[in-house]
Amino acid sequence: MLHAPSPTHSVTSLQVTLLGPTASVLAARLGVSEADLGLVFTLNGFASILGGLPAGWLVDRLPGHAVLACALSFQVSADERC
Protein backbone atom coordinates (compact mmCIF):
# COMPACT_ATOMS: atom_id res chain seq x y z
CA MET A 1 0.00 0.00 0.00
CA LEU A 2 1.39 3.38 -1.00
CA HIS A 3 1.19 6.31 1.37
CA ALA A 4 1.09 9.99 0.48
CA PRO A 5 4.38 11.79 1.06
CA SER A 6 4.62 13.49 4.42
CA PRO A 7 4.85 17.29 4.61
CA THR A 8 8.42 16.94 5.90
CA HIS A 9 9.40 14.90 2.84
CA SER A 10 7.74 17.44 0.55
CA VAL A 11 9.58 20.38 2.13
CA THR A 12 12.93 18.58 2.06
CA SER A 13 12.45 17.62 -1.58
CA LEU A 14 11.53 21.18 -2.45
CA GLN A 15 14.64 22.52 -0.71
CA VAL A 16 16.88 20.16 -2.66
CA THR A 17 15.09 21.00 -5.92
CA LEU A 18 15.54 24.72 -5.35
CA LEU A 19 19.26 24.32 -4.62
CA GLY A 20 20.00 23.05 -8.12
CA PRO A 21 19.61 26.37 -9.96
CA THR A 22 21.54 28.21 -7.24
CA ALA A 23 24.49 25.80 -7.14
CA SER A 24 26.87 28.03 -9.10
CA VAL A 25 26.15 31.06 -6.90
CA LEU A 26 26.42 29.00 -3.72
CA ALA A 27 29.68 27.38 -4.83
CA ALA A 28 31.20 30.77 -5.68
CA ARG A 29 30.09 32.21 -2.36
CA LEU A 30 31.60 29.30 -0.43
CA GLY A 31 34.77 29.25 -2.53
CA VAL A 32 34.38 25.65 -3.72
CA SER A 33 33.72 24.06 -7.08
CA GLU A 34 30.26 22.94 -8.17
CA ALA A 35 31.55 19.36 -8.22
CA ASP A 36 32.57 19.63 -4.56
CA LEU A 37 29.17 21.07 -3.73
CA GLY A 38 27.50 18.20 -5.59
CA LEU A 39 29.49 15.70 -3.54
CA VAL A 40 28.32 17.35 -0.32
CA PHE A 41 24.67 17.19 -1.43
CA THR A 42 25.07 13.56 -2.50
CA LEU A 43 26.61 12.57 0.82
CA ASN A 44 23.82 14.44 2.61
CA GLY A 45 21.26 12.37 0.71
CA PHE A 46 23.00 9.11 1.63
CA ALA A 47 23.23 10.20 5.27
CA SER A 48 19.50 10.96 5.26
CA ILE A 49 18.72 7.49 3.95
CA LEU A 50 21.06 5.78 6.41
CA GLY A 51 19.71 7.84 9.30
CA GLY A 52 16.10 7.27 8.26
CA LEU A 53 16.35 3.50 8.50
CA PRO A 54 17.11 3.25 12.23
CA ALA A 55 14.85 6.25 12.93
CA GLY A 56 11.92 4.48 11.29
CA TRP A 57 12.65 1.32 13.24
CA LEU A 58 12.74 3.31 16.51
CA VAL A 59 9.48 5.14 15.76
CA ASP A 60 7.80 1.78 15.07
CA ARG A 61 8.86 0.42 18.48
CA LEU A 62 8.88 3.49 20.75
CA PRO A 63 6.52 6.44 21.14
CA GLY A 64 7.11 8.74 18.17
CA HIS A 65 7.13 11.94 20.21
CA ALA A 66 9.86 10.60 22.49
CA VAL A 67 12.02 9.63 19.52
CA LEU A 68 11.49 13.05 17.93
CA ALA A 69 12.33 14.85 21.17
CA CYS A 70 15.55 12.85 21.57
CA ALA A 71 16.54 13.44 17.95
CA LEU A 72 15.95 17.18 18.22
CA SER A 73 17.87 17.34 21.51
CA PHE A 74 20.78 15.52 19.88
CA GLN A 75 20.71 17.88 16.90
CA VAL A 76 20.65 20.98 19.11
CA SER A 77 23.57 19.72 21.19
CA ALA A 78 25.54 18.91 18.04
CA ASP A 79 24.81 22.34 16.54
CA GLU A 80 25.98 24.11 19.70
CA ARG A 81 29.34 22.35 19.57
CA CYS A 82 30.09 23.47 16.01
List the one residue out of 59, 43, 42 whose CA is nearest residue 8.
59
The phi, psi pair for 5, rounded to 5°, reads -60, 145
pLDDT at 51: 84
C-beta contacts of 16-23 below 8 A and 24+ residues apart: 16/41, 16/45
| CB contact set of 13 (below 8 Å; sequence gap of 6+) | 5
pLDDT (0 to 100) of residue 2: 56
User: Structural domain boundaries of the chain?
Assistant: 23-81
Entry pTM: 0.57
Q: pLDDT at position 57, please?
A: 86
- Per-residue pLDDT tens digits of the chain, which is 82 residues long: 555 656 666 666 666 677 777 888 888 999 999 899 888 888 888 888 888 888 888 888 888 888 888 888 888 887 666 5
